[in-house]
Amino acid sequence: MHPLDKALELESAGDDLLRGRTLPEWANMVGPFGGITAATMLQAVELNPQRHGRPIALTVNYVAPIADGDFEIKTRAVKTNRSNQHWIVELSQAGEVKTTATAIFGLRRDGWSDTEIEQPQVCAPEDVEPSVPPFGVAWFDNFDMRFVDGGMPDAANDPVESASSTSTLWVRNNPPRPLDFVALTAVSDIFYPRIFLRRGQFVPAGTVSISVYFHADDEQLAAQGDDFLLGTARAHRYSGGYFDQSARLFGRDGTLLATSHQFVYFKA
Is the pLDDT confidence value at 40 over 90? yes
Q: Report in angstroms the alpha-carbon separations of 237 from 87, 88, 119.
A: 30, 29, 23
Is the pLDDT confidence value at 43 over 90? yes
Q: What are phi and psi of 206, to 5 degrees?
A: -165, 140
As to burial, measured by CB atoms within 10 angstroms (0-12 exposed, 13-18 middle, 19+ buried), residue 36 is: buried
Whether residue 151 lies inside any domain: the answer is: yes
- Supply the pLDDT for residue 247: 98
Whether residue 114 lies inside any domain: the answer is: no
Torsion angle, CA of 189/194/200/204, rounded to 10 degrees?
-70
Is the pLDDT confidence value at 84 over 80? yes
Is the pLDDT confidence value at 156 over 90? no
Q: Residue 168's domain is classified under what CATH number?
A: 2.40.160.210
Whether residue 128 lies inside any domain: the answer is: yes
Is the pLDDT confidence value at 251 over 80? yes
Is the pLDDT confidence value at 135 over 80? no
The parent domain of residue 158 ranges over 3-107+123-266
Q: Report in angstroms the alpha-carbon separations of 67 from 32, 45, 98, 150.
A: 8, 22, 9, 31
- CA pair distance 86, 126, nearest whole angstrom: 40
Is the pLDDT confidence value at 201 over 90? yes
Confidence band (pLDDT; 50, 70, 90) for 63? very high
- Minimal CA–CA distance to 38: which of 17, 21, 20, 62? 62
- CA pair distance 38, 4, nearest whole angstrom: 12
- Supply the pLDDT for residue 158: 85
Segment 204-224 shows an average pLDDT of 97
Q: Report in angstroms the alpha-carbon separations of 1 from 9, 40, 79, 266.
A: 10, 16, 35, 36
- CA pair distance 74, 61, nearest whole angstrom: 15
Whether residue 50 lies inside any domain: the answer is: yes
Cα 93 off chain centre by: 22
- CA pair distance 188, 8, nearest whole angstrom: 16
Is the pLDDT confidence value at 105 over 80? yes
Is the pLDDT confidence value at 218 over 90? yes
Confidence band (pLDDT; 50, 70, 90) for 29? confident
Whether residue 31 lies inside any domain: the answer is: yes
Least reliable range by pLDDT among 155-164, 199-208, 250-259: 155-164
Whether residue 145 lies inside any domain: the answer is: yes
Average pLDDT, the chain: 96
Is the pLDDT confidence value at 123 over 90? yes
Is the pLDDT confidence value at 207 over 80? yes
Percent of all residues in the chain with a pLDDT value above 70, rounded to a whole number: 100
Domain count, the chain: 1
Report the run of H or E that residue 221 belongs to, with start and end.
helix 218-224
Report the run of H or E that residue 80 belongs to, with start and end.
strand 70-80
Strand-pair partners of 175: none
The pTM for the full model equals: 0.96
Whether residue 116 lies inside any domain: the answer is: no
Is the pLDDT confidence value at 155 over 90? no
Confidence band (pLDDT; 50, 70, 90) for 157? confident
Segment 65-88 shows an average pLDDT of 97
Whether residue 101 lies inside any domain: the answer is: yes
Strand-pair partners of 103: 58, 87
**Are 152 and 134 spatial neighbours (Cβ–Cβ below 8 Å)?**
yes
- CA pair distance 186, 73, nearest whole angstrom: 17
**Are 99 and 207 spatial neighbours (Cβ–Cβ below 8 Å)?**
no
